[in-house]
A and B are shown apart, each in its own frame.
Chain A
Amino acid sequence: MSEDRDELIARVALELRGAPALSPDLDARIMARVRRESVPGTWRAAWTAVRRPRELHVSPLAALAVAAGIAGLVLAAAMLSPARRGVPAASLAQALAPDSLTPVQFVLIMPSAESVALVGDFNDWNVGAQPLQQASAEGVWSVTVPLAPGRYRYTFVVNGNRWIADPGAPTTADDDFGRPNSIITVAGRGT
């Protein structure tokens, strides 16, 4: 009886020791599953890592250095801006959107003038920026300026010191500086 039981136990043990039959593509299927799940897992881990609050220890000197660096970048950007480089606003506008500019001819008939300049919102009120050319011996002075749609204030400067509003245009009510300006409203091309 005891021998029979020992024999039964020995058979069961032998059966249990044997390796079970496995599918030949089991390894490939497991690795494919692992690869499929590893990508979102990585992103999730990264997202969790960047959202996790951390305590930073920065010395006052390092904080000042960082601030000075940022301030330097701001200043450098300002130094490299077109306005600081002295690019005229009109030419900048022309470079950006040439199709949106309308050529506007300014004319002054003044036989007694020796020189006429145009100053206004479009040229920084710079007396030397836009001189008028004498178109005829009868004292017809003119200049053509490309302008974007909008309303502009301007005036003529005759002989370098006499400021006169355009006799053919309305004058502004905002006479802040004691010398009247003319106004022109420019429509865009095809609008």
Chain B
Amino acid sequence: MKARLATLVAVALLVGAASLSAQDPRLVERLDAATAAEIATIVASARTAGLPVEPLVDRALEGASKGAAGSRIVAAVRALAQELAVARLALGAGASEGEVTAGAGALRSGADPATLTRLRAARQGGVLTVPLGVLADLIARGVPTDVATGAVLDLARSHASDAEFVALGRNVERDILAGAPPAVAAAVRARGMPSTLPPSSPSTAAAATGDKGTTTQGQPPRRRP
């Protein structure tokens, strides 16, 4: 009886130590104790399930920086954990953390899990992080989900490189900013046709405020052969 009790206490000590070690110091520093504890529980469950946990911590830190209420932060992190789980299921057990994270982003944008599975089949042996990111970007830009899905799948089947996926997203974005309907811009760029649209101009929103923004990646995209 005593030995059994000692075993239980020993197990409790080990579990307690594991939970403490799972408490990310960033959460403790920037969230109230109750919220940090709830997030830590979600993170621990995700880790046990083999899901990436850094996006969950990032989402919590984002909420903290934006001054969101604890309950809202917990709800957002829990929703993201579920999306990560669905993405992992759709992409397969061998999916990397980056792929699962990008897959969750694509799901949030409006892609369905079957699309993730089809993309995996279309780009066997290749990493899907960038294609999934571009898919989410296209949908976020207003490209209808089926058109965006078709464009990305076609590119994957043609063994395109990551840089070519990024170039697709950038070209569609440029065309949309120039005034092209998102569906047309994506369909044209997906067929590899040169755009006949006028040169890009600042977006309406940016022009209205007088503010402009841009991002430039160090590696220029390669053109498809």
What B residues does A124 contact at CB under 8 A? Answer: 26, 58, 61
What's the Cα separation between A21 and B221 when bound, in Å?
A: 92
- Per-position binary interface string of chain B over residues 144-183, scored 1 when its CB falls under 8 Å from any chain A CB and 0 otherwise: 0000000000000000011101100100010001000000
**Is there contact, CB below 8 Å, between A187 and B219?**
yes
What's the Cα separation between A107 and B216 when bound, in Å?
A: 8
Chain A to chain B contacts (Cβ below 8 Å), 18 pairs: A63-B10, A74-B18, A107-B216, A108-B213, A109-B211, A125-B58, A125-B66, A151-B132, A169-B213, A170-B141, A176-B68, A176-B75, A177-B62, A178-B68, A181-B62, A185-B137, A186-B217, A191-B161
**Is there contact, CB below 8 Å, between B65 and A149?**
no
A134 to chain B, nearest CB (A): 14
Partner of A125, one of B7, B64, B139: B64
Given contacts A126-B65, A176-B68, 9 further A-B contacts (CB under 8 A): A63-B7, A63-B10, A67-B10, A74-B17, A77-B21, A83-B25, A105-B217, A181-B62, A189-B218
B201 to chain A, nearest CB (A): 11
B16 CB–A CB distance under 8 Å: yes
**Is there contact, CB below 8 Å, between A75 and B21?**
yes
B101 CB–A CB distance under 8 Å: yes
Q: Which B residues lie at the A interface, using CB under 8 A?
A: 2-3, 5-7, 9-11, 13-14, 16-18, 20-21, 24-26, 54-55, 58-59, 61-66, 68, 72-73, 75-76, 79-80, 98, 101-102, 105, 108-110, 127, 129-130, 132-134, 136-137, 139-141, 161-163, 165-166, 169, 173, 177, 202-203, 205-206, 209-219, 221
Q: Given A74-B17, A125-B64, A185-B134: A173 and B102 within 8 A (CB)?
A: no
**Is there contact, CB below 8 Å, between B162 and A188?**
yes
**Is there contact, CB below 8 Å, between B65 and A156?**
no
Say what secondary structure dominates the interface of chain B: helix
Interface size class for chain A?
35 or more
The 8 closest A-B CB pairs, nearest first, are A67-B10, A151-B133, A78-B21, A167-B206, A185-B133, A60-B6, A71-B17, A176-B76
**Is there contact, CB below 8 Å, between B218 and A104?**
yes
**Is there contact, CB below 8 Å, between A71 and B215?**
no
What A residues does B110 contact at CB under 8 A? Answer: 173
A121 CB–B CB distance under 8 Å: yes
**Is there contact, CB below 8 Å, between A75 and B59?**
no
What A residues does B209 contact at CB under 8 A? Answer: 167
What's the Cα separation between A50 and B86 when bound, in Å?
A: 45
What A residues does B206 contact at CB under 8 A? Answer: 167-168
What's the Cα separation between A171 and B110 when bound, in Å?
A: 14
Say what secondary structure dominates the interface of chain A: mixed
**Is there contact, CB below 8 Å, between B166 and A187?**
yes
Q: Given A167-B203, A177-B68: A149 and B129 within 8 A (CB)?
A: yes
What's the Cα separation between A89 and B137 when bound, in Å?
A: 24
**Is there contact, CB below 8 Å, between B203 and A168?**
yes
What A residues does B5 contact at CB under 8 A? Answer: 60
**Is there contact, CB below 8 Å, between B17 and A104?**
no
**Is there contact, CB below 8 Å, between B213 and A109?**
yes
A163 to chain B, nearest CB (A): 7
B168 to chain A, nearest CB (A): 10
**Is there contact, CB below 8 Å, between B66 and A177?**
yes
Interface residues of A in 138-191 (CB under 8 A from B): 148-151, 153, 156, 163-164, 166-174, 176-179, 181-191
**Is there contact, CB below 8 Å, between B211 and A151?**
no
Q: Given A169-B215, A187-B166: A176 and B63 within 8 A (CB)?
A: yes
A64 CB–B CB distance under 8 Å: yes
**Is there contact, CB below 8 Å, between A187 and B55?**
no
